[in-house]
């Protein structure tokens, strides 16, 4: 069985940018310290967003904030 490659981040801001721009909903997992990890499929679109994020991505601030708040509520609620 071939495993699909994934991109993982613990940065909710970066995860928000990926979710907003690539429109991919992350899987959320928690380690033993209850720290959330956001997992996305490692596609060229996701990698492009990551590179643009690191360079200072331009995106709608309100949309990013709304997405961040959605992810935060999922993390706080323990919803994967």
Instruction: Report if residue 65 sits inside a domain.
Output: yes
Structural domains counted in the chain: 1
pLDDT for residue 63? 95
Question: 30 lies in which domain range?
Answer: 6-77
Sheet of 36-41: strand order equals: 6-9, 36-41, 27-30
- Give the model confidence (pLDDT) of 24-35 as tens digits: 999 999 998 889
pLDDT for residue 3? 66
Kindly report the pTM of this predicted structure. 0.88
- Give the model confidence (pLDDT) of 30-66 as tens digits: 998 889 999 999 999 999 999 999 999 888 999 999 9
pLDDT for residue 4? 86
Contact 26, 19 (CB under 8 A): yes
Instruction: Report if residue 68 sits inside a domain.
Output: yes
Element at 20 (helix H, strand E) = helix 12-22
Instruction: Report if residue 66 sits inside a domain.
Output: yes
Instruction: Report if residue 1 sits inside a domain.
Output: no
Instruction: Report if residue 39 sits inside a domain.
Output: yes
pLDDT for residue 79? 60
- How far CA 43 is from CA of 22, 52, 73, 78, in Å, comes to 10, 14, 26, 26
């Amino acid at each position: 069985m071939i495993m699909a490659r994934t991109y993982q981040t613990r940065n909710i801001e970066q995860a928000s940018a990926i979710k907003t721009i690539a429109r991919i909903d992350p899987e959320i997992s928690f380690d033993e310290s209850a720290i959330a990890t956001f997992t996305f499929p490692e596609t060229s679109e996701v990698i492009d967003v990551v590179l643009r994020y690191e360079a200072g991505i331009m995106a709608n601030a309100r949309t990013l904030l709304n997405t961040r708040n959605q992810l935060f509520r999922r993390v706080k609620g323990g919803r994967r």
